[in-house]
Chains A and B, each alone.
Chain A
Amino acid sequence: MAFDFLKKAISTGVDKLRGGLSRTRHAFLGSLKSILSGRKLDEELLEDLRKRLILADLGVAATNSITSDLRQAWHAGKIDSGDQVLEFLKSEMKSYWPQESRTLHFATAGPTVILVTGINGAGKTTSIAKLGQYLKAQNKTVMVAACDTFRAAAVEQLTIWASRIGVDIVKHQMGSDPAAVAYDACEAVVARHIDVLIVDTAGRLHTQDHLMRELEKIRRVIHKKIPDAPHEVLLVLDATTGQNAIRQAEEFKKAVQLTGIFLAKLDGTAKGGIVVAIRHQLDLPVKFIGIGEKPEDIAPFSPDDFVEAIFAQTENPG
C-alpha cells in the first residue's frame, strides 16, 4: 500500500522519500500490475487467491471467510473477473474499516493524549517521532513522554527524536517509575497548553502479566490527571508479525482498551494481512502505516492500497 504514497511522491517531485524509493523499487515500482488483472475467475484463480491471502498473513480463518465470500459472489453472478475481485475486496475492506474509525480522536477541549504500546521492537518509539511530525504539520503543538525507563538507551533514543522533530520531552532517570513520568507529562501539557501528548512505553510481551499491569497503571494515572484521556491508545504492530499478532491485540486491548493500530514496517515485503483477522475478531481499526525509518515515513491507512498491495506482483517470489 505504500506505493500509492510513493507514486504521489514521485509525481510531485517530492524527494524526501528517496531512501524509501530505492528499497521499495523492487517491490512496487517495477510492477504495479496486480496478479489479478485480466484473469477470468475460476477455481484455479480462487486457489491462487487463497494462497496469496495466506502468504499475506491473513491466517487460515480470515482467508477461508474471504474466499467463501468471493465464491458466493461468483456463484451469484456478481463477479467474474480478477479485476472485479479486486473491487469486491476493496469495498469489503472499506466496510471493515470505515473512514471515521481510521482517524485520530482529539479532545474536545484541553490536551489530547496518545498512549503508544506494543511488544518489543515493534517500532513504537520511531512511530512516535512520525506521529509527532505528522501532528506538527497540522499546526498542533506536541510533547512526548519517555515512559520507557527500562530498555538500554530508550530515553536517549526518544530524546534524539524529540530534538530532531522539534518537540519537547518529559523524562526521568532510567529505572524510575514510568507512571510517574506519565503523571509529570500530563501536568506539563496542561500547564503549558500543549495540544497533544504522545506517551512512549517500554516494549513488553502480552504474556508478561506484571508488565501489562504496569501499563494499566500508566493508563490509570493519565486518566486521573486528564479525565477523557487517553484519547487514543495505539498498538504498534510490526507488519512482519504472523498469527501471534492476534494474541497481542487481544491482550493489549484487554489491558488498556486499544483504540487502533499503527502498522509499522510496511516498506518491506510483508503485507501485514494479520490486521484483517484482528479486525474480524477484535474490531480494531488500523489508523496509520509506517513505511520507513524517518519521521516523514508515515501515511494514513488506506484499505484500497492495502488490497492492491496484497495482490501486487513483486519481484520477490512469495
Chain B
Amino acid sequence: MFDSLSEKFTLMVRNLSGRGRITPANVRQAMEDIRSALLEADVHYQVVEDFTQRVMEKATGTQVLASLEPGQQIVKIVFDELVALMGPVDSSIFFVDPPPTIIMMCGLQGSGKTTTCGKLALYLKSKGKNPLLVAADTQRPAAIDQLVTLGQQVDVPVYKQDGQADPIPICRNAVAFARQNGRDVVILDTAGRLHIDDALMEQLSDIAGATKPHQIFLVVDAMVGQDAVNSARAFNQKLELDGIILTKFDSDTRGGAALSVKAITGKPIKFLGVGEKLQMLEEFHPDRIAQRILGMGDILTLVEKAQSQFDQAQTEKMQEKLANATFTLDDFLEQMRSMRKMGPMKQLLGMLPGLGSALKDIQLPEEELDRAEAIIQSMSRKERENPDIVDSSRRRRIARGCGLQTEDVSRLVKGFSAARDMARKMSGLSMGSKMKMAQAMSTMSPESLSAMGHLGSAGPALRPSRLSPEQKRKMRDRRRRGR
C-alpha cells in the first residue's frame, strides 16, 4: 500500500520518458506523485507544498518543455532542488581561542544525545583535541552511569557531581574544571525534554546563559515524522541552534526529516549517527541524502565505508580485478568478509542505486553467507580462481566437503558469474553517470536482480539445504556478534 518513494519515482520517470515531452499537465501529475512520495518519506506537509511549488515552476519552464529527455530533466530538477534545500555542506566544528570550546547537546527524549556525545568525543579526539564530557542529565535514571561508561569506552574524562540535581552549577563548574585541566572542548550532555515543557526549556536556556556555549546542536531521530518541525522550531527559538545531528540513520528510514528540519530551522545538518557504536558518526552530504530520500541509493557512502575497511591499495586491486574480469571466488570471499565487518549485508546492498526497493523482500540472512563461505572453502585454489572449471565431479566433491548439495554448489557458481558481470559494470561508475545508473537499475530484469542478491550471499536459492548441528556450531563460532 505504501509504495516507497523510489518505486513511485521510478514509475514517474518511466511515464515521462515514455511520452518524450513534458507538458504542464503531465508535470502536474508527476508533481502529485512527488508530493505523496515526499510525504511518505516523512517530509513535513508544508515543506512538501513549498517544494513541489518550486519544482513545478521550474519544470514547466520552456527549457524543460523543449528538452529531448524530459525524464532526465525532471529528475535533475527535483534532485538539485532537494540538494539545495538541504545544503550547504558544513560539517565543521569551530574552536575558540583561548579554549575551551563549549558544545551543548539538546533534544527530545531518547533521540540519541548521550550516545552522540560519546561519538563526538571520539571524533574530536581523532582530531587531536582533549575533550571533556559533562553529565548534565540529572533526570533520567542512570544517565550519569551511561555517560561514564561511554567516556571509558573512548577514554575521555567525564565531569559529574553526584547528588547535585541542578544541571546549571554542574555545567558551570565543568567549564572551570576544563579550563584548569587543559581540556580544550567541553561537551554538555543535557536531559531529554519535550519542546512544550516550559520549565525544562527554560532550564536549557539557563544552562546556555550560564555557560555561553559556542555551538549548540539539536539531536534528532532520523525516523521522526511530521512532528519534527514542531520540536525543531521550538528548540531553535529558545536556543539559537548552530546545527543539527540526525541519529539512527542506519535504519531504513527515507529520512525526510532531514529536509523538514533544515527547512524549518535553516541550520546546517552537521553529522549523521549511523549505529550504536561510537565510531559510527558520519559527516553530512546533502547529495547522498537527496538520493536516499529519492530512493536512488547511496553509492558514495558505500564506497566510503568500503574504503575505511579496505586499505586504498586493496581497493584499487579489487577495482582492477573487477575491470579486468580477474575477480575470483577468493576475492569474493575476502570482500564478503570485509563487508560483513561493516554491517548487515542488506544495509550495504540497500545503498546501491535501485536496489533498495528490490531488496525489501529479498532475505540475506547471515546463515546463507556462512553457507557460501563453507562452499568456497571446500574448493581448490584452481576452482576458486576459475569457477568455470567446476564440473559435475568437482561439484560432488565440493558438496561432500562442505556437507551441502551439489545444486547448492552450482547455484553459487552461477550466481557468482552473474554477479561478477554486474559488478564489472558497476565498477566504472562515475559521479556523472549516477542518474543513468539509477534509471538503468530500476529497469533491471528480475534475473539480474537476483544475481545481485548472489553477490552478497549464495542467495535465497540455497535455503532448502540442511546444515548438520556440527556445521551450525562451526558457523556460529565463525560468526562474530557485531553490532
Contact = CB atoms under 8 A, between A and B. Distances in A.
A160 B199 CA distance: 25
B96 interface: no
Contact of A244 (B42, B150, B479): B42
A123 to B, nearest CB: 6
Given A209-B366, A210-B366, A238-B110, A152 B146 contact: yes
Contacts of A51: 45
Contacts of A244: 42, 223, 251-254
Given A26-B196, A242-B257, A268 B2 contact: no
Interface residues of A, number: 59
Contacts of A153: 142-143, 145-146, 148-149
Interface string A290-312: 00010000000000000000000
Contacts of B252: 206-207, 244, 247
Given A156-B142, A241-B224, A211 B483 contact: yes
Contacts of B150: 152
Among A150, A208, A242, A277, find the residue whose CB has the most chain B CB atoms closer than 10 A: A242
A67 interface: no
Nearest to B252: A207
A281 B2 CA distance: 10
Contacts of B257: 242
A260 to B, nearest CB: 20
A207 B347 contact: yes
Q: What bracket does the count of chain B residues touching chain A fall in? A: 35 or more
B142 A207 contact: no
B225 A120 contact: no
Interface in B15-56: 36, 39-42, 45
A16 B62 CA distance: 64
Contacts of B149: 152-153
Interface in B99-140: 108-112, 114, 139-140
B225 A274 contact: yes
Given A26-B196, A54-B45, A209-B344, A318 B230 contact: yes
A23 interface: yes
A288 interface: no
Contact of A269 (B1, B141, B196, B223): B196
Contact of A59 (B40, B110, B223): B40
Contacts of A208: 344, 483
A183 interface: no
A138 interface: no
B195 A269 contact: yes
A7 interface: no
A157 B114 CA distance: 14
A24 interface: yes
A78 interface: no
Contacts of A243: 2, 40-42, 225, 254
B365 A209 contact: yes
Given A153-B146, A209-B346, A293-B109, A56 B226 contact: yes
Given A23-B194, A55-B45, A150-B483, A61 B225 contact: no
Contact of A121 (B41, B112, B226): B112
A242 B483 contact: no
Contacts of B197: 22-23
A177 to B, nearest CB: 10
Q: Is the interface of B mostly helix, strand, loop or mixed?
A: loop
Interface in A164-194: 164
B226 A57 contact: yes
A161 interface: yes
Interface string A129-162: 0000000000000000000001111101101110
Contacts of B221: 121, 238, 240-241
A316 B276 CA distance: 33
B198 A23 contact: yes
Contacts of B39: 54, 59-60
Contact of A22 (B42, B198, B251, B479): B198
Nearest to B113: A121
Given A209-B365, A242-B225, A268-B108, A120 B248 contact: yes
A265 interface: yes
A156 B481 CA distance: 23
A151 B109 CA distance: 16
Contacts of A27: 196
B231 interface: yes
Contacts of A154: 142
A151 B108 CA distance: 19
Nearest to A64: B36
Given A152-B146, A238-B221, A244-B253, 5 more contacts: A54-B226, A156-B141, A157-B140, A243-B40, A270-B225
Interface of B: 1-2, 36, 39-42, 45, 108-112, 114, 139-143, 145-150, 153, 194-200, 221, 223-228, 230-231, 234, 248, 250-254, 256-257, 276, 344, 346-347, 364-366, 479, 481-483
9 contacts: A119-B248, A120-B110, A123-B109, A150-B276, A156-B146, A207-B347, A209-B364, A242-B257, A244-B251
Interface of A: 22-24, 26-27, 51, 54-57, 59-61, 119-123, 150-154, 156-157, 159-161, 164, 203, 205-211, 238, 240-247, 265, 267-271, 274, 277, 280-281, 293, 316, 318
Q: Which 4 interchain pairs have the tightest Cβ spacing?
A: A242-B225, A121-B110, A242-B42, A270-B227
